Amino acid sequence: MRRWSWFLAAVVFLGVVVGLSGPAGAQQKIVIYAAQDEKTTNEMTRMFTEETKIGTEVIRVAAAGTLATRIRAEKAAPKADIFMGGSVEFHEPLATEGLVLPYRSPVVAEAKIDPAYVSPQNFWHGFFVNSLVIILNPQRFQREIASAGVAKPKTWDDLLNPVYAKKLTAGNPATCGGAYIFTALQIFRLGGEQQGFDWLKKLDGQILQYTPTCPGTITLVSRGEVAGGITWADDSIEAMLEKQPIDIVFPPDTGAEIGAISIIKGGPNPEGAKKWVDFALGKKAQALKTELGFTYPVRSDVDPPKNVPPLSDIKLGTYDRKFAIDNRERLTKKWEAEIGSKR
């Protein structure tokens, strides 16, 4: 046998060994699908393992839709125990499809958590609240808006000022959840679908570009591609603290997402999953999530994040979540037909 054939055999052998050997797992663990930032997720899992001695394996992505899709694809043989992060908009349809294990954490009663943050059928528990905000690029605002004698915007309607024409950005409701909540919010805020769409069409004249994801607007604003934009509070605060040039405005009648946790039915470790839910609603985890994730806690005994007005100051617009979820397909198609495809 020639030398090269030994070499080839060795390579094949190595490849097979490497391919077959997965990472060794802990004694007991839960698998978490998390749609939230990396730092918060890592800290939470570290704290959880310290407290409960249960290991964790996390698949973290920025967008909840990816994880919801996975859970659907894996429904015959679920791989994960926990689906966390992402608005209720993603959890509720999964529950309707029978993919969620109902559970009511005792912590809800103990901590007197507002029932608005828990699924009436016990499918999901809200564990943070995140609101929609206006962000501005200070440099471009000073040069192009303030110089025209226009003050900082305070409300959504202020964005319709002609001075912002083609200088704003927002997410595209066809591709990102936050932008859809923003679209539906206008319908509830202005008292009707017709009024909502009329307003959105006016706003459309101000938009230079819709982004496919919500954090995408922050990139455009901080890089000065546009003067301002509409996006999530938590991502914006994080970007601001990273010294990206961003000013944040909390409009009074804004929309919000309830970031939820649900237990995946048929997952490998349902008992461990329940412990995770209890843990995430606990005071320590809530404080951690608030501090690192820049969102509002669902517990009243945990302080809201620094740098933001308290939740009570922000009048969350009346938002009919059920209507919004049920009409999503129809309303985004309508948005595309009347606004998106006209651009």
Partner 1 sequence: MSSESLTHLPAPGLPGWRARALLREPVTLVVGLGVGGLLLLFVLWPILEVVTYAPAGDYLRLGENARWIRATTNTFRMVALSTATATLVGFLYALALSRPDFPGRELLRLIAILPLFSPPFTIGFSYLLMFGRFGVISHGLFGLEASILGWGSLWAVQTISNFPFAALAIERALSATPPTLEAAARDLGGGWLAVFRTVTLPLVRPAVAGAALLVAIYVLADFANPLIIGGDFPLLATEAWYRIDGWGDLRGATLLAATLLPPALILFLAERYWVSRRSYVVIAGRGSSLDRPPLPVSLRWGLTLFCGLTAGLILSLYFGVVAGAFTRTWGVDWTPTLTQWGVALTKLDHIRNSLVFAAAAGVGATVLGTVAAYLVDQKAFPGGRLLDALCVLPAAVPGVFFGIGYLLVFNRPGVALAGTGLVMVLAFTFHNLPFSFQIARAGLAQIHRNLADAAADLGAYRFRILWDVHLPLIFPACVSAWTTAFVNSVTNLSIAVFLVSGGNQVATFSILGLIGDNRLEAASAVTTLLLLTTLLVVGAAWWLSRGARVIPGVLGG
The Cα–Cα gap between 80 and 265 comes to 9
Q: How many residues bind partner 1 (CB under 8 A)?
A: 73
Minimum distance of partner 1 from residue 165's CB (angstroms): 14
Minimum distance of partner 1 from residue 158's CB (angstroms): 23
x/- mask, partner 1, residues 57-96, rule CB under 8 A, reads xxxxxxxxxxxxxx-xxx-xx-x----------x--xx--
Confirm or reject binding of residue 312 to partner 1 (CB under 8 A). Answer: no
Which one, 193 or 225, has the nearer CB to partner 1?
Answer: 225
Minimum distance of partner 1 from residue 212's CB (angstroms): 6
Q: Where are the beta strands (DSSP E) in the chain?
A: 29-34, 55-60, 82-87, 100-101, 124-136, 168-171, 207-211, 228-232, 247-249, 253-254, 256-264, 315-316
Minimum distance of partner 1 from residue 291's CB (angstroms): 18
Which one, 94 or 281, has the nearer CB to partner 1?
Answer: 94
Do residues 229 and 171 touch, judged by C-beta distance below 8 A? no
Question: CA triplet 129, 304, 168: central angle to 5 degrees?
Answer: 60
Confirm or reject binding of residue 222 to partner 1 (CB under 8 A). Answer: yes
Of 99, 171, 90, 85, nearest in space to 128 by CA = 85
Minimum distance of partner 1 from residue 78's CB (angstroms): 9
Minimum distance of partner 1 from residue 304's CB (angstroms): 23
Region binding partner 1 by CB under 8 A among candidate stretches 255-263, 273-281, 287-295, 333-341: 333-341
Confirm or reject binding of residue 15 to partner 1 (CB under 8 A). Answer: yes
Q: Find all residues with CB under 8 Å of 286, minimum gap 6, and list them.
A: 127, 280, 297, 298, 299, 302
Confirm or reject binding of residue 10 to partner 1 (CB under 8 A). Answer: no
Of 326, 178, 156, 174, nearest in space to 259 by CA = 178
Q: How many helices (H) and strands (E) does the chain have?
A: 14, 12
- Between residue 228 and residue 257, which ones bind partner 1 under the rule CB under 8 A? 235, 239, 242-245
Distances in Å between the alpha carbon of 174 and those of 70, 182, 273, 327, 332? 20, 12, 32, 13, 6
Minimum distance of partner 1 from residue 111's CB (angstroms): 30
Confirm or reject binding of residue 224 to partner 1 (CB under 8 A). Answer: yes
What angle do helix axes 233-241 and 215-222 make, rounded to 10 degrees?
40
Q: Find all residues with CB under 8 Å of 106, minimum gap 6, and list them.
A: 278
Q: Tokens 């440099």, residue?
A: 139
Q: DSSP secondary-structure letter at 118?
A: B
Do residues 80 and 301 touch, judged by C-beta distance below 8 A? no
Confirm or reject binding of residue 292 to partner 1 (CB under 8 A). Answer: no
Greatest pairwise CA separation for the chain in angstroms? 85
Which one, 47 or 311, has the nearer CB to partner 1?
Answer: 47
Confirm or reject binding of residue 23 to partner 1 (CB under 8 A). Answer: yes
Which one, 148 or 337, has the nearer CB to partner 1?
Answer: 337
Which one, 94 or 302, has the nearer CB to partner 1?
Answer: 94
- Between residue 143 and residue 202, which ones bind partner 1 under the rule CB under 8 A? 172, 174-177
Which one, 23 or 115, has the nearer CB to partner 1?
Answer: 23
For residue 142, give both structure tokens: 């000073």
- Between residue 199 and residue 218, which ones bind partner 1 under the rule CB under 8 A? 208-213, 215-216, 218
Which one, 225 or 303, has the nearer CB to partner 1?
Answer: 225
